[in-house]
Homo-oligomer: A and B are copies of this chain.
Amino acid sequence: MLIQVPEQGTLADVAAHRLAHSIVTGELAQGQKLNEAELAERFGMGRGPLREALRHLEGMRLVKRIPNAGARVVVLDRKTLSDIYGVREALEGMACRLAATQMTDEEIAKLSKLLDNHEEQIKKVGGKVYSQSEGDLDFHFQIARGSRNQMLMDMLGSEQYQLLRMCRYRTSRKAARTKPALQQHRQIVAALEQRDGELAELLMRRHIHGAWKSISEMIDKEEEESAA
């Protein structure tokens, strides 16, 4: 599972994880004001650790802080999402290219099995998109790991890129794109098996580009609805 366990570390780390989870899942609405005292009480800790947690989340771009005016949950407008997907296309494409030469056969085989699980899950419960989405994230993260590039892993991994999960969570409710996505994943794995980095990159870029197109259309529809 990608969700980090409660963690035995400092209270600030715990708070950061809990806050991140609340934000990603939408429990804390976008643009919502985050009151330090209130959150500290809810988490049963002082304001010190909580402030550190907010700093941490600011670095992850999950909240925006304004001096003397508090912190607010970031708002994911269309432009921001578009920018994110653009960067993802470049970074994950690169990850794929590297992974094609760096991953071991065992890792690739594991990736293939991961997809088998996904397929089974999809067949079992058509509606449960959530777990697929998490699994999908896991797929992408495994490839990032396969690149053997630590900076890339940080940028695409759990720590730095929770924004991704946030926008996924927001858009995964209606998303019925699981089947073509799965097929594209299979194509990517096939390219990795053949150690064809260029092809793997191309497929990954196309996969992400398609995902953005799909999400973009969904946003358009939502905006129409909310406007009507």
Contacts and interface: CB of A to CB of B under 8 A. Distances in A.
Given A48-B48, A67-B13, A80-B150, A155 B87 contact: yes
A127 interface: no
Contacts of A154: 61
A142 B58 CA distance: 24
Contacts of A86: 94, 98, 149, 151-152
Interface residues of A, number: 32
Given A55-B56, A56-B59, A83 B149 contact: yes
A146 to B, nearest CB: 14
A55 B182 CA distance: 38
Interface in A123-152: 149-152
Contacts of A80: 150-151
Nearest to A97: B90
A94 B48 CA distance: 40
Contacts of A83: 149-152
A12 interface: yes
A14 to B, nearest CB: 11
A176 to B, nearest CB: 27
Contact of A84 (B48, B90, B151): B151
A71 interface: no
A67 B150 contact: no
A13 B51 CA distance: 13
Nearest to A95: B90
Nearest to A8: B67
A9 interface: yes
A51 B172 CA distance: 37
Interface in A67-81: 67-68, 79-80
Given A48-B48, A59-B60, A60-B59, A149 B67 contact: no
Identify the 7 closest CB pairs spanning chains A and B, nearest first: A59-B59, A55-B55, A83-B151, A90-B94, A83-B149, A9-B67, A52-B55
25 contacts: A10-B68, A13-B67, A48-B48, A48-B51, A51-B52, A52-B55, A56-B58, A58-B59, A59-B60, A79-B150, A80-B150, A80-B151, A83-B149, A83-B150, A83-B151, A83-B152, A84-B151, A86-B94, A86-B98, A86-B149, A86-B152, A87-B151, A90-B93, A90-B94, A91-B91
